[in-house]
Every structure is written in structure tokens, then in C-alpha cells.
Amino acid sequence: MTELAGARLRRVGVIHGPNLHLLGTREPELYGATTLDGVNRALEGLAADLGVELEGVQSNHEGVLVDWITEEAPRVAGFLVNAAGLTHTSVVLRDALLGVGRPFVEVHLSNTSARESFRHRSLLADRAVGVVYGFGVESYLLGLRGLLSHLDS
């Protein structure tokens, strides 16, 4: 394995979609009381234990996420993605993730299957390595473990 490939294997891009900046105060009965900083801290803690580096973004704008995915892809081994509402609507986010050719895991805090029917469809899930939803912050941690296990396999 080249040095570059080795370095890339140790970095994961974390994508938080629209409205996740409001975590902590946004519909806490659905999303819990943890802020986005809290989610990122929990992820950083696990990443440190597992020897992985994280690079994260939160944006309310689809195009910003597309640009970020394109820029980060050469430096990361895969992506951990909570695309939030874009999960259910965004062809361009799907195209960006498929276009850069990196494996990704889809995560959601809430159990989207137990909510409105428009949340049952994901435009990402069929191309994701796996999907974790309904476990609050733990969904992200399980998703990161799943992605790393996939990358190691």
C-alpha cells in the first residue's frame, strides 16, 4: 500500500445536512438534547480510540455539500452522512457521492421509518454500505464503526 493510500484510509468525512445546526433545541423529542457540537465531540472521541481522523461539514445548502464532497474525496477513505431532509429529495447529493467513488454510510438520529411516509424513501440508501437510524447520537457512532469495518474488510 502506498503512503497516500495509507493516509487516506485513516480519514473519514462527516456530513451533516440542513437544520442539523439546530440540534439541541430542534424537536428534542425526535432528535434528543445533544447539540451538533456534542455529536461531533462524541464522534471525535470514538475516532481517537479507533485511530481515525475526521473532517466534518454542516451546511443548509445542497451545493455547498456537493462542493465539499468533491474537494474532500481525494483525502478521505469514506463518508459518514446524515443528509437530513436532503436524504429524501436530493438527486445531486446522491450523484456527488456516487461521482467521487468513496464508500459511505447513511445515518439518522430518528427512526425515519416510523415517521411521515416521505421520510421512508432515501435517495442514498441503495448505494450506501449500510444505514443506521433511530438510535440518536449512537447512530453516528455505530455508523462510523460500520464504515471502518467495511474499509478494513
Under the rule (CB under 6 A), what is the footprint of ligand DQA?
19, 82, 84-85, 87, 108-110, 112, 119
Cβ count near 146 (within 10 Å): 18
- CA-CA distances (angstroms) from residue 92 to 3, 65, 122? 32, 10, 13
Quick one: 68 or 140, whose CB is closer to ligand DQA? 140
Residue 108 catalytic? yes
Query: Alpha carbon of 59 to those of 96, 115, 125, 146: distances in Å?
Result: 15, 23, 20, 24
Give the three-state DSSP class for 82. strand
In angstroms, give the least distance from the CB of 88 to ligand DQA: 6
Nearer to ligand DQA, 9 or 46 (CB): 46
Q: Which of 16, 31, 133, 140 does the annotation list as catalytic?
A: 31
Active site includes 88? no
8 vs 32, beta carbon nearer ligand DQA: 32
Nearest distance from residue 82's CB to ligand DQA, in Å?
5
Please give the Cα distance from 103 to 80 (Å, whole number): 9
Q: Which is nearer to ligand DQA, 8 or 108 (CB)?
A: 108
Nearest-approach distance from CB 40 to ligand DQA, in angstroms: 14
The one catalytic residue in 16, 108, 133, 140 is 108
**In whole angstroms, how close is the CB of 10 to ligand DQA at the nearest point?**
26
Do 78 and 143 contact (CB within 8 A), yes or no? no
Grid coordinates of 113: 421509518
Instruction: Give the span between the Cα atoms of 117 and 60, in whole angstroms.
Output: 23
Tell me the catalytic residues: 31, 108
